Amino acid sequence: MLNVNQLNQYYGSSHTLRGVSLNVEKGKCLSLLGRNGVGKTTLLKCLMGVLPTATGKVTLEGRDITKLKPHQRAALGIAYVPQGREIFARLTVEENLLMGMATKSGKKASLIKGEVYELFPVLKEMLQRRGGDLSGGQQQQLAIARALLAEPKLIILDEPTEGIQPSIIKDIGRVIRLLRERGNIGILLCEQYFDFAEELADNFIVLSRGEVVAAGTQAQMNDASVKRHLAV
């Protein structure tokens, strides 16, 4: 589905991504692991077109999207839940959800699917509350729900458990697991902690200093030589 081949990126003279390659399959979850500051968020922003790349190629279902702008990638079916959630604090929960359907047209852009409320029941109770009045965990659920309303082919989640209370972390894990089981969406899950990702992902890659230092299955990620690159 999503294929990244030898991606390189620079901040000035700093070589931030070094020949990064990965593949996200439809119906599978790939977890991107690594400590803070190793380039995980930079990579995700490059995949969304928020940051430019120097060299390398990004394709979605065989189509080269390397030079496309963020809104063009969104229209092709990539949804991004950024670190820090970035909801619209002054808009209501309902208005935030409607923003998730900005790539659609006509009535499709104004009909919120009830399935979202099945995944995140708390949102239905708070439709008229402002996004900024929600707790951090509720805002994260809103951000994921907003992304899913675009009916993406691929969803990118940047550290969705950061600063979230344990009960909501479980809810987020449940939703990711459900999406994976449905088999119609690719999931790229960026995480600092292996414990959360290991129950959800099919495959893993580990980033350190802007390059992939390990890749493989869950069993392979339990190796001590890999864990030294992860937060514990």
- pLDDT, tens digit, 9 for 90 and up, residues 202-230: 999 999 999 999 999 888 887 777 777 87
Cα distances from 64 to residues 51, 57, 186, in angstroms, run 16, 7, 17
Query: Virtual CA dihedral for 139, 141, 143, 147, nearest 10 degrees?
Result: -170
The domains of the chain are located at 2-85+153-227
Nearest to 45, CA basis, from 78, 94, 93: 78
List, for residues 109-130, the tens digit of each pLDDT value. 667 888 899 999 999 999 999 9
pTM, entire model: 0.93
Rg (CA), the chain: 17
Hunting for tokens 């409320």 — which residue is that?
Answer: 117
Check whether 52 has a pLDDT greater than 80.
Answer: yes
Check whether 157 has a pLDDT greater than 90.
Answer: yes
Residues 6+ apart with CB under 8 A from 46: 7, 9, 17, 52, 53, 58
A 10 A CB-CB count for 209 gives 15
CATH class of 2-85+153-227: alpha beta
Cα distances from 57 to residues 63, 190, 193, in angstroms, run 10, 20, 28
Query: What's the pLDDT score for residue 103?
Result: 76
CB 98, CB 146: distance < 8 Å:
no
